[in-house]
Amino acid sequence: MSSHAMSAESKPMTAPRPGWRRHLWHAGLLVMLAMMWGSSFLMVKVALRDFSPVEALTGRMAIAALFFTAALLIRRKQVERSRKAWALMAAMAVIGNVFPYLLINWGQTRVETGTAAILMGIVPLVTAVLAQAFTRGERFHLWKAIGIAVGFAGVVVLFGGPQLSGGHGVMWGAAAILLAALGLASGTILADKASDYHSIPIGFGVMWIAAIVCVPLWLGIDGGALPARVSWQSAAAVAGLAIFSTALPTLVLIYLVRSAGPSFAGFTNYLVPVIGVALGVALLNEALTWYAVVALGLIIAGIVVGQIGGRKGGKKAAAPAADR
């Protein structure tokens, strides 16, 4: 999620003065943000060794909610009181968090980490499509249309390759992750509408609503059962997803968008799928086929071309989804 209404006194970190140190600072934050999001696919895979998809999601949202509670107290911010704000936070919680994260968790029980990372690379392309209908000032240009077409061609290549040749179960897992991309893109559009509010109270409300919504899902789907055994690796993965792939990226992204601009922050979209694929190959010994490489290249190329179109005619480049 993003908030452009953060006042100068409420910024969580201070950048160096303009110059090479400032550029280096921004680049470091960009890489850190991409690493936090890119590693989420690996952490999901590890978490699912002992937790069900719903259990992993519930733990992730609950810990993230506690993180924002601490941030709210430390920063001495007030909880939002308006019905409009809470309605918006509820939509962000369900559409931008619970819905996509549950689908990603379920999808990753059937597809590899690298495949999930490549498929999630289409989030900025889906966001560009949705922005035409739901964001004022967004104009559709030829470059943007070409970028979207090229990116989705990468998805077609991936679906036609051996990465997804494991039968209908694998295909359904990939389809779930694509549907999750729609949810995250929708969450980005909703987050833009929350730009008049401070990020910490919004994050507090979103995460607590998401955590509460997860409880009946856990009771209904898993029957309230707890895993018989939980390794420290799986428990750490759930905590890592909450802190390093949900809560902290929200604050880092907000700062980076305000300090360096949304176009610069958007470069994370190029790095996240690459990092996700690299971690899957390096740490989980997943195979990397030429189909996957071509698909990844096409999706990244589509993002590049689409951003060129966005700079030529759009109101502003859409910030990447902050609640991955």
Decide if 120 contacts 34 (C-beta within 8 A). no
Q: Tell me the two tokens of residue 236.
A: 């750490």
What does the alpha-carbon distance between residue 96 and residue 188 come to, in Å, rounded to a whole number?
Answer: 7
Q: Looking at the domain assignment, is residue 68 inside a domain?
A: yes
pLDDT in tens, 236-248: 999 999 999 999 9
Q: Does residue 96 fall inside a structural domain?
A: yes
Q: Check residue 137 and give its pLDDT.
A: 56
Which of 317, 285, 292, 269 has its CA nearest to residue 123? 269
Paired tokens of 99: 């819905």
Give the pLDDT confidence score for residue 141 in this predicted structure: 74
Residue 4 lies in a domain: no
- On the CB side of 165, CA atoms within 13 Å amount to 8
- Residue pair 226/87 in contact (Cβ under 8 Å)? The answer is no
pLDDT band at 222, cuts 50/70/90? very high
- Express each pLDDT in 138-166 by its tens digit: 566 788 888 889 988 888 888 766 556 56
110 lies in some domain: yes
Taking only the tens place, the pLDDT of each residue in 257-278 is 777 766 677 778 788 899 999 9
Tell me which residue range forms the domain holding 308: 19-313
**Better-predicted residue by pLDDT, 65 or 322:** 65
Stretch 289-313: mean pLDDT, rounded? 79
What does residue 168 show for φ and ψ, rounded to 5 degrees? -65, -30
Residue 189 lies in a domain: yes
Write out pLDDT tens, residues 159-199. 766 556 566 678 889 899 999 999 988 888 887 777 778 88
In whole angstroms, give the CA distance from residue 136 to residue 147. Answer: 21
- Averaged confidence pLDDT in the chain: 84
The lowest-confidence range among 122-126, 212-216, 277-281 is 122-126
Sorting pLDDT into bands at 50, 70 and 90, what band is 314?
very low
Instruction: For residue 46, give the amino acid letter.
Output: V
Q: Which residue has the higher pLDDT, 6 or 73?
A: 73
| Sequence-distant (≥ 6) Cβ neighbours of residue 312 within 8 angstroms | 141, 143
Contacts of 131 (CB under 8 A, 6+ apart): 138, 189, 314, 318
Q: What is residue 324's predicted lDDT score, i.e. its pLDDT?
A: 47
Distance between CA atoms of 242 and 234, rounded to whole angstroms?
13
Q: Is residue 323 part of a domain?
A: no
The reported pLDDT for the residue numbered 309 is: 57
Q: Give the pair of three-digit tokens for residue 10.
A: 């409420």
pLDDT at 317: 43
Residue 75, in any domain of the structure:
yes
Q: 131: pLDDT confidence band, cut at 50, 70 and 90?
A: confident
Backbone angles phi, psi at 244, to 5 degrees: -95, -15
**Residue type for 83, please?**
R
Domain tally for the chain?
A: 1
DSSP 13-51: S-PPPTTHHHHHHHHHHHHHHHHHHHTHHHHHHHHTTTS
- Residues comprising the chain, all counted: 324
Q: How much is the pLDDT for 106?
A: 97
Q: Is 320 helix (H, G, I), strand (E, B) or coil?
A: coil
- Rg of the chain over Cα atoms, rounded to whole angstroms, equals 19
Q: Does 320 fall in a domain?
A: no
Identify the pLDDT of residue 143.
82
Please tell me the predicted confidence (pLDDT) of residue 27: 87
Asked whether residue 1 carries a pLDDT value surpassing 50, the answer given is: no
pLDDT of 254 higher than 80: no
- Cα distance between residue 190 and residue 222, in whole Å: 30
Q: Put residue 19 in one of left, alpha, beta given phi > 0 → left and psi -120 to 50 → alpha.
A: left
Mean pLDDT of 70-80: 94
d(CA 92, CA 187): 6
